[in-house]
Chain A
Amino acid sequence: MMGSAARISGSVADRLSPQSMITELMEIADYISHMRTEIAALRANEMTRDRIPMAHEELGNVLQATAGATNTIMEAAEAMLALPDDAGYRDSVEAQINTIFEACAFQDITGQRIAKVVEALRNFELRLARFASAVRARDEGGIDAREAERQERADRLLLNGPQPNGPATAQDDIDALFA
């Protein structure tokens, strides 16, 4: 019993010795220096100032271009449906079809815009993965209240959204359920 107490007392004394305190403080200083390097490598200011606004803007442009092209295509199709069955029918249809072809050019531009956003996301992913690994980050258990509310609504109302590789259940299988 006395031996154990002496060993504990000796261990505390070792830990509190000036030399061990200096060693510990140097380790802490090294860790802080390492953390500062990793935080700097994350370049959070650049992400929030440049890359995230760029991604927002590019995706906004994609939405706008997609909506604009859809509207043009729909208008052309509706115009064709309303054409009178007369001698000028073919010429009128060809003119509307050319409008549709032109409107489809949006896909080239939006493809390039989406590629820029994908590249920015890949960059975030790499930086965050490196940072999480460097600081040995662990995820906290909880999620914020708004996200929890959104998730609860999605679960309750079965809001699964479109599936990644097309419909999860084929129309024929659904039809069988209603036969």
Chain B
Amino acid sequence: MALDLSMPILVVDDYQTMVRIIRNLLKQLGFEEVDDASDGTAALSKLKNRKYGLVISDWNMEPMTGYELLRHVRADESLRTTPFIMVTAESKTENVIAAKKAGVNNYIVKPFNAATLKSKIEAVCGA
């Protein structure tokens, strides 16, 4: 199944440079519809107003972390099937396992490269 390059993607990170890096990488991969939010609360609000094909989220943000956002998304009937990739500097095994238990589809440790991001999106969104 080919990647749907028209699907809207929500990038959630409180560090604007990281949002910009991911936006550019996604643009390079051919994705045109990229939106962003600076924490879980803002992301949840956007997710309730628009259907996104993928969420790419950082973990450590305030007031709502990416981990809390993931749990909210998976607990919400209308959002629970939205693909979710965590992109974070939280690299302890307990973080990865907690995210997997909470229903994350894939997990990328920062710093990462374009090839890693591409392969995870393909794995999650089906290429």
Chain A positions near chain B (C-beta within 8 angstroms) = 67, 70-71, 74, 77-78, 81, 157-163, 167-171, 174, 177-178
Contact = CB atoms under 8 A, between A and B. Distances in A.
Interface stretch (B3-11, B43-51, B72-80, B89-97): B89-97
Report, nearest first, the 5 A-B pairs whose CB atoms are least far apart.
Answer: A167-B91, A162-B89, A168-B91, A167-B109, A168-B92
Pick from A71, A157, A170 the residue with the most CB of B within 10 Å.
Answer: A157
B94 A158 contact: yes
Given A174-B96, A178-B100, A158 B90 contact: yes
A69 to B, nearest CB: 11
Interface of B: 17, 20-21, 24, 27-28, 59-60, 65, 67-68, 89-98, 100, 105-110, 112, 116, 123
B115 to A, nearest CB: 11
Nearest to A77: B24
Nearest to A158: B95
Nearest to A171: B109
Contacts of A163: 91-92
> What does DSSP make chain B's interface, helix, strand, loop or mixed?
helix
A78 B109 CA distance: 24
Nearest to B60: A159
Contacts of B110: 162
A169 B91 contact: yes
A163 B28 CA distance: 30
Given A157-B67, A159-B60, A178 B106 contact: yes
B100 A74 contact: no
A74 B17 contact: yes
Given A71-B17, A160-B94, A168-B92, 18 more contacts: A67-B17, A74-B17, A74-B21, A74-B24, A157-B65, A157-B67, A158-B90, A158-B94, A160-B90, A160-B92, A160-B95, A162-B110, A167-B89, A169-B93, A169-B96, A171-B108, A171-B109, A177-B107
Contacts of B107: 174, 177-178
B90 A177 contact: no
A171 B112 contact: yes
